[in-house]
Structure 1
Amino acid sequence: MPENDPILRRYRWAELDEPGRAAALARPEAARRDALADEVAAIIAETRRDGDKALLKFAARFDGVALDALRVPPADFDAAEASLDDTQRGALRIAIDNVRAFHAAQLMPPIEVETMPGVVCRRITRPIRAVGLYVPAGSAPLPSTVIMLAVPAALAGCPRRVLCTPPQEDGRADPAVLTAARYCGIDAVYLAGGAQAVAAMAYGTESIPSVDKIFGPGNAWVTEAKMQVSRDPDGAALDLPAGPSEVLVIADERAAPGFVAADLLSQAEHGPDSQVVLVTTSVALADAVEAAIENQLALLPRNAVVLEALKHGRTLLAADLEEAFAISNRYAPEHLIVQVPEAESWLPQIETAGSVFLGDWTPESLGDYCSGTNHVLPTYGYARAWSGLSVADFQLAISVQQASPAGFRLIGPTARTLAEMERLDAHALAVKLRLKALALHAADEPGPGTRQ
């Protein structure tokens, strides 16, 4: 049970039984899951049936704007870029350069291995032909998400890159989102948000072309829509499973309480269902972080959202740092911040995390915006088995094999034996016929010393 009644519910890990530990690390439940699924399914069906007409209707209903067209015209890109100042445009360009540099290093050359003499196996990559990029732009427009999606898509060579973003109150796209899209080489931007945007990209409308895979974060409606269309063979694949955003901070008594508090609050402001977790070896540090949170809350315009998110927050008191990292690995956080001395020395202890931030001077904000790593990450515990977005997610890896006659003569008997062990007679026959053909061919060839 909690030790007291602070802002973040506090637990001493060693005193919890197994059900108590599971409860202490529980994520917020997805609200209205069944009802939401039905509502999203209805939106998808209507968008699929009525196309642009449905999108215009939903823009009026959900966004409160009457749109004349869905595609953003070139003049809007010009006006958007002109509305930003030099510092803002420069920040976008720096972020793009850093993300491009890190993701370009992820490009892999083809692999070719001769596994046996005359048997060559290769692995080649091809870009996904059409990708949809979803960029939220509600109370917090996200030009950084444009960069995180568009840069690796370009590096992978995806020929069709479609971007959907919700319209603002004036019926236009957010200026920073549009400018980031332009700097990333994307001019196909459409004013559509929510589940209807996902449906439009999955199935296509009169204005929006269909895509093969959809990328990008979003609210519960967007996430549910991505899951539904990914299960439809006629729909579109999704980038990765996700839930509400989250951060876990590991800190000891030497950490700066103000830094820890700011990192927790920066995650909490994403939304009311975000979760923040502090794992510390120090009661004094936990108390100081609580005080810093109270002080910093007064500085935040979105403090109503933050306070709602903090209801899901936790402070877990660990016996030592080894236990702290074990707790983190069990939780599998989307973001893991390590604020302990010589933080890098603890990297081998980290087994599950979407993205890791080492040391006092590496807030999550760097990864969210401009360090170079990708901020589209697995949440809700999916970091146990999924990785954050990379160039590889925008590519198809294709295996290729080729055997010469000599190579087939060498490897064929192994394939035949394994096929017979599995009682797959047609597989075995495909090998036997070729071995027989090689044997007949060899018998017809003149041997050494034979007169021609």
Structure 2
Amino acid sequence: MIRTIDLRGTRPNREELLALIPRNSLDVQTASSIAAELISDVCERGVLALQEQAFNLDGVSGHNIRVPQEHIDQAVAELSSQLRSSLEETISRVRLGSQAQVPSQTSTVIAPGATIIQRWQPVERVGLYVPGGKAVYPSSVIMNVVPAQVAGVTSIALASPPQAQYDGRVHPTILAAAGLLGISEVYAMGGAGAVGAFAFGVPDLGLIPVNVVTGPGNIYVAAAKRLVRGTVGIDSEAGPTEILIIADSSANPAFVAADLISQAEHDEMASAVLVTDSEVFAAATAQEISRQAPLTKHAERVETSLNGNQSALVIVDDLDIAVDFSNAYAPEHLEIHTSNAHQLVSSIKNAGAIFVGDFTPVSLGDYSAGSNHVLPTAGQALFSSGLGAYTFLRPQQIVEYTKDALSSVAEGIRSLSDDEDLPAHGDAVDIRFEQEDN
């Protein structure tokens, strides 16, 4: 079901590892032209474009793009007690995890009378995207909204695709999660068009442009976020999910197989990779995958994902190479199932989130760990982080010098400004002391 890549007897360097990494054949750049057309259409035709895209992509028409408050209230009222309790528990845990991400204001005395205050200011308005394709993600509502609220964002808009089975409404559990969090500005729109609507606004819908767009989605959502970056901030290009597991012979093959399958369940383009130094363990995991995968609800989707070029069982000579492989891959989710797991963590440089030990599956992070499940994919963890309160914060420096403190550096400023042929910079300092001399 899943292919094997045998790297034993080799010690690939970073460049060679990058060539060996299993990846989807369709990347964000390939999808950019389609995403650009959808965004441009929304910019030019507004509501008409969103309605047409909903019909073509989601099979719905005549729906409310701006979700009425009564739909949100109804969704909350109709939640089962068990599901409401689960959502509220996740909200509580993610809120605790997010609060730890807000830096405290600091004040640094550079010299007597010279002070710099470092503070963190939230952006004013954000657009949060929640996918609604093959699965329903109320958990993503929580992962987007809670960090924004913790950061202090005052204007929050949410978008999720309209659902044909609910007469064009956003899925009721997504609406309920928004309602539990006090979000009233919700739009039934999806894909690249929704990202464009957030970034540029839709005047005939009363949708004001946002400052930051966040949230996971398909390859076209990821492409759209790349295209609007610069007009707005984004978290990262969170496209089709991926999991990489480093395991040795001490690991449980049933657990590892289940975790690979759990992420393959998301999408046919999902990536599931095991890197191990044990041929026996790789074989045992493959056997477990063959046993478990046909029993899961979305067996066909799982099979497609695991059979794809993006998934593999990789056998290496030792765990040092396994770590090198993982750092080159920069996985969205990294699980470590080894006897020296805590030691290995210190060698991991690139990963969206790291899950350590037999009882810390990615599924935990998807729902109830308190961590955030909106994470960079497709190697973006080389330079991007997962979504958090910090995504919505901007560091600002507040500088204050007294006259004596400025005087102590005036000569240096004059020297530097003259050297850079910007003498007016030095003049702006000198004038503050010339009046005193006269």
Q: Which amino acid aligns with 2:143?
A: M
CA contact (8 A) 1:107 1:391 kept: yes
Question: Which SS does the other structure have where 2:93 is aligned?
Answer: helix
Instruction: Render the CA deviation track for 1:353-392: whole Å, top value 9, x for unaligned.
Output: 1100000000001111111111111111121222111111
Q: Paired residue for 2:416?
A: 418
Mapped to 2, the partners of 1:272 and 1:212 lie a distance apart of 32
Q: Paired residue for 1:210?
A: 209
Q: Please, what TM-score do these two structures have when normalized by structure 2?
A: 0.93
Distance 1:31 1:318, change over 3 A: closer
Question: Which SS does the other structure have where 2:156 is aligned?
Answer: strand
Of 256, 260, 263 in structure 1, the residue corresponding to residue 259 of structure 2 is 263
Unpaired runs of 5+ residues, structure 1, are 1-5, 445-452
Q: Which amino acid aligns with 1:276?
A: A
Map of 1:237-256 to 2, 5 A cutoff? Answer: 237-256=233-252
Q: Paired residue for 1:369?
A: 367
Question: Which SS does the other structure have where 2:37 is aligned?
Answer: helix
Instruction: Render the CA deviation track for 1:264-287: whole Å, top value 9, x for unaligned.
Output: 111112222221211111111100
Q: Which amino acid aligns with 2:92?
A: D
Q: Which amino acid aligns with 1:115?
A: I
Question: Which SS does the other structure have where 2:376 is aligned?
Answer: coil
Q: Paired residue for 1:274?
A: 270
Question: Which SS does the other structure have where 1:349 is aligned?
Answer: coil
Q: Paired residue for 2:228?
A: 229
Asked if 1:53 is matched to 2:48, the reply is yes
Instruction: Render the CA deviation track for 1:171-226: whole Å, top value 9, x for unaligned.
Output: 11112111111112211111000111111111211222221111101111111112
Q: Please, what TM-score do these two structures have when normalized by structure 1?
A: 0.90
CA contact (8 A) 1:8 1:290 kept: no
Distance 1:254 1:52, change over 3 A: same
Question: Which SS does the other structure have where 1:278 is aligned?
Answer: strand
CA contact (8 A) 2:217 2:240 kept: no
Equivalent pairs counted in the alignment come to 431
Asked if 1:22 is matched to 2:18, the reply is yes
Alpha-carbon shift at residue 112 of structure 1 (Å)? 0.8
Q: Paired residue for 2:428?
A: 430
Q: Which amino acid aligns with 1:347?
A: V
Alpha-carbon shift at residue 130 of structure 1 (Å)? 0.7
Unpaired runs of 5+ residues, structure 2, are none
Distance 1:62 1:318, change over 3 A: same
Distance 1:13 1:185, change over 3 A: farther
Q: Paired residue for 1:3?
A: none
Mapped to 1, the partners of 2:106 and 2:28 lie a distance apart of 47
CA contact (8 A) 1:24 1:314 kept: no
CA contact (8 A) 1:59 1:67 kept: no
Map of 1:176-191 to 2, 5 A cutoff? Answer: 176-191=173-188
Mapped to 2, the partners of 1:343 and 1:215 lie a distance apart of 32
Q: Which amino acid aligns with 2:39?
A: I
Q: Which amino acid aligns with 2:242?
A: E
Q: Which amino acid aligns with 2:284?
A: A
248-257 or 406-415: bigger deviation: 406-415
Mapped to 2, the partners of 1:372 and 1:419 lie a distance apart of 50
Alpha-carbon shift at residue 394 of structure 1 (Å)? 0.8
Mapped to 1, the partners of 2:265 and 2:413 lie a distance apart of 58
Q: Paired residue for 2:312?
A: 314
Question: Which SS does the other structure have where 1:387 is aligned?
Answer: coil
Asked if 1:66 is matched to 2:61, the reply is yes
Asked if 1:174 is matched to 2:178, the reply is no
Mapped to 2, the partners of 1:145 and 1:37 lie a distance apart of 24
Distance 1:252 1:49, change over 3 A: same
Distance 1:376 1:68, change over 3 A: closer
Asked if 1:195 is matched to 2:205, the reply is no
Of 383, 386, 402 in structure 1, the residue corresponding to residue 384 of structure 2 is 386
Mapped to 1, the partners of 2:397 and 2:148 lie a distance apart of 21
Question: Which SS does the other structure have where 1:126 is aligned?
Answer: strand
Asked if 1:295 is matched to 2:291, the reply is yes
Q: Which amino acid aligns with 1:135?
A: V
Q: Paired residue for 2:398?
A: 400
Distance 1:326 1:21, change over 3 A: closer
Q: Paired residue for 2:218?
A: 219
Q: Which amino acid aligns with 1:213?
A: V
Alpha-carbon shift at residue 9 of structure 1 (Å)? 2.5
Alpha-carbon shift at residue 408 of structure 1 (Å)? 0.2
Asked if 1:351 is matched to 2:349, the reply is yes
Question: Which SS does the other structure have where 2:346 is aligned?
Answer: helix
Alpha-carbon shift at residue 17 of structure 1 (Å)? 5.3
Of 79, 85, 101 in structure 2, the residue corresponding to residue 106 of structure 1 is 101
Question: Which SS does the other structure have where 1:248 is aligned?
Answer: strand
- Looking at both structures, which has the greater relative contact order when contacts are Cα pairs under 8 Å and sequence separation is at least 6? 2
CA contact (8 A) 2:28 2:219 kept: no
Q: Paired residue for 1:448?
A: none
Asked if 1:130 is matched to 2:125, the reply is yes
Mapped to 2, the partners of 1:336 and 1:225 lie a distance apart of 26
Mapped to 1, the partners of 2:97 and 2:191 lie a distance apart of 30
Map of 1:87-98 to 2, 5 A cutoff? Answer: 87-98=82-93
CA contact (8 A) 2:94 2:369 kept: yes
Question: Which SS does the other structure have where 1:15 is aligned?
Answer: coil
Distance 1:160 1:316, change over 3 A: same
CA contact (8 A) 2:243 2:332 kept: yes
Mapped to 1, the partners of 2:224 and 2:75 lie a distance apart of 29
Instruction: Render the CA deviation track for 1:299-340: whole Å, top value 9, x for unaligned.
Output: 222222222221221222222223322221222111110111
Alpha-carbon shift at residue 345 of structure 1 (Å)? 3.2
